Structure 1
Amino acid sequence: MKTDIILSGVGGQGILSIATIIGEAATRMGLALKQAEVHGMSQRGGDVQSNLRLSDRPIASDLIALGTADMIISLEPMEALRYLPYLSESGWIITSSAPFKNIPNYPDEQALAEELKAQPHIVSLDVEQLARENQMQKSANVILLGAAASFLKILDAATLRESVGRIFASKGEEVVSMNCRAFDIGHEYVKNLKL
């Protein structure tokens, strides 16, 4: 069994934190893991992308080939579409619907939303709004991870949630509690969709 994930977003959104949590969970479960990261101008809101490959067998390459990704997890809708050529026909897109307008010629939001909606396997949620509503603005990325958890068949949600706690442990119990709650919010959101 294997799962290939493309993580994408904009610098500062927490994409690499998601990769760290997934990687920690995979290691705990004894899975093989390969990761390749591309850091754009992350301090200036540039593209940040990571290839994350998980398997119960050895993995030869850390890069995901076109048309083979099982999932795109994206904190920015335009960035989700940027990596669409990598997604397999049965692959899922789990994305934030809230645009991060970091360029002057950002695409029309309505057209972007329609293109995402046209995809056969997609969950689009406004993680920024959910984070604001729950007074956890710095945990929008973990809400998105919680939403993706149901689709990561190689990892179980309980192990991912435990990894959230371990990754944030050095920041104190309040931060751990907030991020575990953020994970639960995203996870429950998807359960309520009845996909």
Structure 2
Amino acid sequence: MKRDIILSGVGGQGILSIAAVIGRAALQDGLQIKQAEVHGMSQRGGDVQSNLRISSSAIRSDLIPHGAADLVVSLEPMEALRYLPWLSGEGWVITNTTPLVNIPDYPAAEALQRELEKLPHVVALDADAVARAAASPRSANMVLLGAAAPFLEIDIAKLEAGIRDIFARKGEQIVEMNLTAFRAGYEAAQKQAKR
């Protein structure tokens, strides 16, 4: 088993929480992981990106080469498109469609949507709306993790255990909100994949 994953978004969206959950679940599955993070201007809403490599055998480098990523998981559509050069030909993009307009010349949402629709393997969902519908408005990152779960090749129960571990210090109510968001994202991705 081998999965090379680019996680991307904007500072404050919860990219590193997604990486932590996947990392814990992978370790519980007896897999090896390497991670490299680029925080950019996260304090000001800038690009945040993480290379996450998971394998059942030794991993030599923590950076994913161009054209080798199995997944680009992004909490922001423009950031998803930014990392397409790293995606393999058979790779999948799992992205939130809600833009976070943080620069003056941010592209129109329709232009981003058209670019996403050109991709052969994409799950694009409004993670913010799914989170609100699941009564977890601050858990769009866990919605997106749920949408990516079918592509991770990691047991769902172990991902849920990772969520419990990561959010346990915040109390059971926060844990349950994040689990609800994760499950809602998983269901939304399943519906989209069946079309």
Is TM (by shorter chain) over 0.5?
yes
The alpha carbon displacement at 1:108 in A equals 1.7
| Residue 96 of structure 1 pairs with residue 112 of structure 2 | no
What SS class does the counterpart of residue 190 from structure 2 fall into? Answer: helix
Counterpart for residue 44 of structure 1: 44
The alpha carbon displacement at 1:161 in A equals 1.3
Identity percentage of aligned residues: 60
1:22-54 CA distances to partner (integer Å, 9 max, x unpaired)?
001011111110000000111110000000000
Unaligned runs of 5+ in 1: none
1:137-194 CA distances to partner (integer Å, 9 max, x unpaired)?
21110000001001112x1222111211111111100001111111100011122221
Q: Structure 1 stretches (4+) deviating beyond 3 angstroms?
A: none
State the TM-score, normalizing by the size of structure 1: 0.97
Counterpart for residue 156 of structure 1: 155
CA distance in 2, matches of 1:44, 1:177: 30
Equivalent AA in structure 2 for residue 75 of structure 1: L
CA distance in 1, matches of 2:186, 2:156: 8
Counterpart for residue 136 of structure 1: 136
Counterpart for residue 14 of structure 1: 14
| Residue 169 of structure 1 pairs with residue 152 of structure 2 | no
CA distance in 2, matches of 1:108, 1:5: 27
CA distance in 2, matches of 1:175, 1:109: 31
CA distance in 2, matches of 1:12, 1:180: 19
CA distance in 2, matches of 1:187, 1:29: 20
CA distance in 2, matches of 1:73, 1:134: 20
CA distance in 2, matches of 1:177, 1:134: 11
State the TM-score, normalizing by the size of structure 2: 0.97
- Tell me the number of residue pairs that the alignment of Structure 1 and Structure 2 aligns: 194
The alpha carbon displacement at 1:135 in A equals 2.6
8 A contact 2:131–2:184 mirrored in 1: no
